[in-house]
Structure 1
Amino acid sequence: MSQFNDKVAPKDFAKMPPEYRDLLVRLLTIQADCEIGGPHIYVDHWTLRAPTVDDQWRVARIASEEIDHCRKMLRLLNLVDVDRSDILERPRSKREVDAFKEDMPTWADFAAFGFLIDKVGQYQLEEMVGSTFAAIDDTLPIILREEKGHVAYGEQQLQKLIESGTAGKEQAQAAISKWYGIGLDMFGKSGSSRTERYLEWGLKRRTNEEARRQYIAEMEPKIAALGLVVPDRLLGRKYL
């Protein structure tokens, strides 16, 4: 089939072929699950344990924004009469993406998560810009702006740790080494046949490997600029 470029309104969703409907529901469900997955990792541990009261406020604000992003994705699903509120009660072990099954025991973990994992989240959201499902474009601008803020805060906190001395730099390096491979895996398998279908239906803009390659090209210089060693791209990887 040639690439589908029409705009689909929520009222016309039921008229679309089953493949389109299934792919859109899957895409929005995974995004909603990821948005709520982060707060499930860090809210209990870091909201009142972050280094300063300003940091505690920022953790609470980030969590609030991520929950709102989940809410917005669930609302998009509701527009097509799909209820996936069950993801709110999912145990961490059942999350769609492995990054949200991890622990976050150090403040460096929180910082690296924001810097690396929220950056992947930004990439995944950018995939939906200009989607053939018209309602998405009304939702994305504020979410993307807030995600960029989370990434910037994570980078700022890594910089503070690095500047604090040898111990802080070692913690930052350990966290980057842990989360970098996890972030690369979030893009999924190279050569995914499902991704090709997303592209054909105008629900994504890049293949998994294209998005991952662009992420690597953007983030590895930033890791090096922090004075940290860029981790081995294959370390701990599950999806190549």
Structure 2
Amino acid sequence: MYNYLEYGGSDQPNVPEQDQEKYEQFMARIEAGEKIEPDDWMPEDYRQGLIKLISMHGISEIMGALPEKEWTPKAPTMKRKLGIMAKVQDEMGHGQLLLRVAEDLMKPYGKNRENIMEDLLSGDLKFHNVFHMPTKTWADAGMVGWLVDGAAIISQTNMLDASYGPYQRALQRICQEEVFHAQHGEAIIMALAEGTEYQREILQESLNRWWPALLMFFGPSSADTTGTSKQDTMIKYRIRKSSNEELRQAFLDKYLPRVFSLGLTVPDETIHYDEEQEMWVYQQPDWNEFKQIIKNKGPRSKERLRLREVAYENNRWVREALSPEAIGQ
């Protein structure tokens, strides 16, 4: 079983001496902008780093559909119900697409998509911190679509030129659809912001609850980690371009002016833009809490994992019926 929680990566991978020439050729290819394909030679830390990244991304798309699924039967109008149903369907499709990409990388280890799901249920594979959080009101459905998906777009567009070809091509499609998801969320937010006093109250309350999770979305900066930073390894291999903090700053640049323009506030009296440093200064979230959340100790971790487990077991017969062994009989 691949341990997703322990892989760290290294700036100086331990490449066997007989593979040194292959490694140099590999680095020359990605530095020239070429795409690596599944059957190409790749260093072990590149393959395992991709497995970790893409598996988590795919599982997060699937688990990310669950908070909004809770509001599908409670959406205030038929139009909103149809919108959120379509969004949930898209997210599940993104997850399946990404798990197929991860599965190709896992073949040398004799692993497949079923192993990824088993690793999720056993706790060996984590999913994104925001999807451990509760959705208490309809405003939360809008917040997930507007700011959570907005953060996802910033993170994913940062990898649109990723050196691994199958992931890069999958992201092209996913990012196009995520734009519609963000517009769906923004439409809900605008309706609430222009609504009654109660609607504005639940909108502000929702933003207050989601703000720490949104700051955590991009992960800790290098200064907040111990040991070798995974993000540095991903940048070195041209899977991503920017650091966690650079992505967080891009999110604040884009969304804080929009938040303030709606007359909303964020629960941070210290937040301000430092003209000299050309960056936002803000109160750091509790990174110890973040570590606990992604270890499945968040507010809704157990409930969401249990729902996924029940669905997985209830549909086992479909997987068995479509297995090569069953089809060959």
Taking structure 2 as the reference length, what is the TM-score of the superposition? 0.67
Which residue does 1:190 correspond to in 2?
221
The alignment partner of 1:10 has SS state of coil
- Does 2:249 match 1:213? yes
The percentage of aligned residue pairs carrying the same residue is 26
- Does 2:90 match 1:65? yes
Which residue does 2:73 correspond to in 1?
48
What CA distance in whole angstroms lies between the structure 2 residues aligned with 1:49 and 1:225? 28
What CA distance in whole angstroms lies between the structure 2 residues aligned with 1:155 and 1:114? 7
The alignment partner of 1:11 has SS state of coil
Structure 2 residues not aligned, in runs of 5+ = 1-11, 13-26, 269-281, 291-329
Which residue does 1:176 correspond to in 2?
207
Displacement of 1:23: 0.7
Structure of larger gyration radius: 2
Which residue does 1:8 correspond to in 2?
36
Displacement of 1:235: 7.1
- Does 2:45 match 1:19? yes
Displacement of 1:30: 1.2
What CA distance in whole angstroms lies between the structure 2 residues aligned with 1:210 and 1:130? 17
- Indicate which of 46, 51, 56 corresponds to 1:30: 56
Provide Cα deviations, 1:137-169, integer angstroms capped at 9, x if missing partner: 322222111111111111111111121111110
The alignment partner of 2:177 has SS state of helix
- Does 2:130 match 1:99? yes
* Structure 1, 80-89 or 21-30: larger mean CA deviation: 80-89
Amino acid at match of 2:60: C
Work out whether residues 199 and 205 of structure 1, in 8 Å CA contact, stay in contact via their aligned partners in 2: yes
- Does 2:250 match 1:201? no
* Structure 1, 60-69 or 127-136: larger mean CA deviation: 127-136
Displacement of 1:183: 1.2
What CA distance in whole angstroms lies between the structure 2 residues aligned with 1:171 and 1:28? 35
What CA distance in whole angstroms lies between the structure 1 residues aligned with 2:181 and 2:166? 24
The alignment partner of 2:259 has SS state of helix
What CA distance in whole angstroms lies between the structure 2 residues aligned with 1:231 and 1:46? 25
Taking structure 1 as the reference length, what is the TM-score of the superposition? 0.90
Amino acid at match of 1:22: Q
Which residue does 1:83 correspond to in 2?
112
Provide Cα deviations, 1:190-216, integer angstroms capped at 9, x if missing partner: 115110010001111100011111111
- Indicate which of 240, 243, 259 corresponds to 1:223: 259
What CA distance in whole angstroms lies between the structure 1 residues aligned with 2:187 and 2:241? 30
Amino acid at match of 1:172: L
Aligned residues: 236
Work out whether residues 10 and 79 of structure 1, in 8 Å CA contact, stay in contact via their aligned partners in 2: yes
Which residue does 2:161 correspond to in 1?
130
What CA distance in whole angstroms lies between the structure 2 residues aligned with 1:87 and 1:227? 43
Provide Cα deviations, 1:159-185, integer angstroms capped at 9, x if missing partner: 111211111101111111111221110
Work out whether residues 100 and 113 of structure 2, in 8 Å CA contact, stay in contact via their aligned partners in 1: no
> Residues 85, 222 of structure 1: CA spacing in aligned structure 2 closer, same or farther, 3 A cutoff?
farther
What CA distance in whole angstroms lies between the structure 2 residues aligned with 1:177 and 1:214? 20
- Does 2:147 match 1:116? yes
What CA distance in whole angstroms lies between the structure 1 residues aligned with 2:116 and 2:197? 41
Amino acid at match of 1:65: D
* Structure 1, 226-235 or 203-212: larger mean CA deviation: 226-235
> Residues 235, 64 of structure 1: CA spacing in aligned structure 2 closer, same or farther, 3 A cutoff?
same
Displacement of 1:87: 5.2
Amino acid at match of 2:85: A
Work out whether residues 116 and 179 of structure 1, in 8 Å CA contact, stay in contact via their aligned partners in 2: no
* Structure 1, 95-104 or 64-73: larger mean CA deviation: 95-104
What CA distance in whole angstroms lies between the structure 2 residues aligned with 1:234 and 1:194? 23
Displacement of 1:236: 4.9
The alignment partner of 2:155 has SS state of helix
